[in-house]
Amino acid sequence: MTPIYAHYCPVAHALELVGDRWSLLIVRDLLQKPQRFTDLLHNSSNITPKWLTLRLRKLEQAKIVEREKQSDRREVWYKLTPSGQDLRPVVESLWDWGLRYAMWPPRPGEVVRPDWAMHTLTKSLNKRGRKLSKPSDWLLNFTPGGPYTLSFDGERWSAKEGNVENPDVVVTTAPEAWATFLALKREERRQYAHTMQIAGSPDSVKEFLHILGAGGETA
């Protein structure tokens, strides 16, 4: 491999393998589960098939990604190798850093995926030690995007795709509106909450808004 930076340094060498545009985002998506080429193309949104092919080929050559074809599957699936899985702390650290220093409302043309938004919120709540008065489930119906459940078990938060029975709070909103709400400053967030459909008992809704830094109650 021809050196890109010509620096004999582990950081430079690592960036030669995963520092290209899209490479770490491909790793980010494969950290969730193995995916097909069409899945990665859809998730990455703005990447072209040609560039995705080139990035996957380079990641395969670096033994970060490998192909998997099972007898009961017609398609080729891509998954991370052990060295690819070892990039998890790198991606998680970038997520934390971005949460602290690079969060703003969605810009024109930016794709907002509900799973990204829920992962970001879960990490933020756990990192800041935010807790509810009792275990609770919040159901977020994204239009488009479908339902996601955010749960607090008394100690930590977790999120998963899908419905939950008897949620304490139900929010119906667009992914872009939800991302905007979370990225706003506290005083702006309080006003923006009124633009979303939030249902539940008055106490549950009040605690929901308090935990998310909005305060007050919805109409």
pLDDT for 195: 87
Closest by CA position to 215, among listed 205, 152, 200: 205
Strand order through the sheet with 65-68: 35-36, 77-80, 65-68
pLDDT digits (tens, 9 = 90+) for 47-89: 999 999 999 999 999 999 999 877 676 788 999 999 999 999 9
pLDDT for 99: 87
Calculate mean pLDDT across residues 121-149: 94
pLDDT digits (tens, 9 = 90+) for 2-32: 778 888 899 999 999 999 999 999 999 999 9
pLDDT for 216: 54
The span from the CA of 171 to the CA of 200, in Å, is: 9
pLDDT for 148: 97
Please give the domain boundaries of the chain with CATH numbers for all domains. Answer: 10-87 (1.10.10.10), 103-211 (3.30.1050.10)
Q: Scan for tokens 């930590």, then name that residue.
A: 156
Calculate mean pLDDT across residues 194-207: 94
pLDDT for 1: 67
